[in-house]
Amino acid sequence: MSLKKPKVVVVMPAYNAAKTLHMTYADLPRDMVDLVILVDDGSSDETAKIARELGLELFVHDRNYGYGANQKTCYREALRAGADIIVMVHPDYQYDPTLLPEIIKPIQDGVADVVLGSRLMGAHPMKQGMPWWKYISNRFLTIAENVVFRLHLSEYHTGYRAFRREALESVNLEMNSDKFIFDQEILAQIVNVRMRITEVPVPTRYFAQASSASFVASSIYGISILWLLARYLLHRWGVIHQRQFDSLGRRYRNAGEIKQAD
């Protein structure tokens, strides 16, 4: 068995993150990170300039293509750079970068392929500043996704995520949306190819500079998730085949049931 240290690459999907990028990068445990990639999705502020000053691996979109399009570039470039573990860290400082060791540990230990940093496993998120309507919609959508995906996760809507290289290589990222629904589409794909998902608790900061979707945008996002779940069920039941959910590689080595890591 190889004892080679896995290459850990942090990806930062950025849009107008100039005010918080330096703080986010400063809190990363640099001894555990081999490379930091930032993709600037057409920011109108100095995000790209600060990224260059910090020495980050920088990719700049010529315009704002969307959160999903940003992640596609992030993951494509991380895989191209030879990453074994890819961690998405939002540069808006909402999620705590110092928790990266906890986020990647289940992958390092070989017990998970995907790790989600859950805001709902520790202190109540409303006490941390999450709006009540966002908390209620999060609970409702998480219950719906657990029923459809046959899992028992505490939440699906976190932006703090880590992936084993093989997990990203097994799903068709390019068929996913360029918008916010990308986050849930990739999880549906991960579930369908029977990768192991686990969670670790992460506190979340809510403050003026941290990105937060509006009520209208969140409502559209919620409806999009319900439509995604309907399409996933039609695919699983064999009613309407969806190429988006097909595996690009081998199915999970113990494929028999969808597995959730303990």
Question: What pLDDT score was predicted for residue 211?
Answer: 54
At 23, list the tokens: 């703080």
Q: What is the mean pLDDT of residues 177-196?
A: 97
Residue 95 DSSP label: B
Residue 204 in any domain: the answer is yes
Q: Nearest to residue 186, comparing CAs of 74, 62, 59, 42?
A: 74
Residue 136 in any domain: the answer is yes
Residue 250 in any domain: the answer is no
The three-point CA angle 227-229-232 to 5° equals: 110
Q: 37-70, pLDDT tens digit by residue?
A: 999 999 999 999 999 999 999 999 999 999 999 9
Q: What's the per-residue H, E or C state across 35-68?
A: EEEEEECCCCCCHHHHHHHHCCEEEECCCCCCHH
Residue 42 in any domain: the answer is yes
The parent domain of residue 123 ranges over: 8-245
What percent of the chain stands above pLDDT 90? Answer: 78
Neighbours of 39 (CB within 10 A): 26
Question: What pLDDT score was predicted for residue 126?
Answer: 67
- DSSP assignment string, 120-143: TSSS-TTTTT--HHHHHHHHHHHH
The number of distinct structural domains making up the chain is 1
Residue 74 in any domain: the answer is yes
Amino acid at 76: R
Question: What pLDDT score was predicted for residue 127?
Answer: 65
Q: 141-175, pLDDT tens digit by residue?
A: 999 999 999 999 999 999 999 999 999 999 999 99
Q: For residues 78 and 46, give the distance between their C-alpha atoms in angstroms, rounded to a whole number.
A: 23
Residue 27 in any domain: the answer is yes
Q: What is the mean pLDDT of residues 207-232?
A: 81
At 234, list the tokens: 């039609």
| CATH number, position 181 | 3.90.550.10
Residue 256 in any domain: the answer is no
Residue 1 in any domain: the answer is no
Q: For residues 262 and 112, give the distance between their C-alpha atoms in angstroms, rounded to a whole number.
A: 9
pTM of the model: 0.89
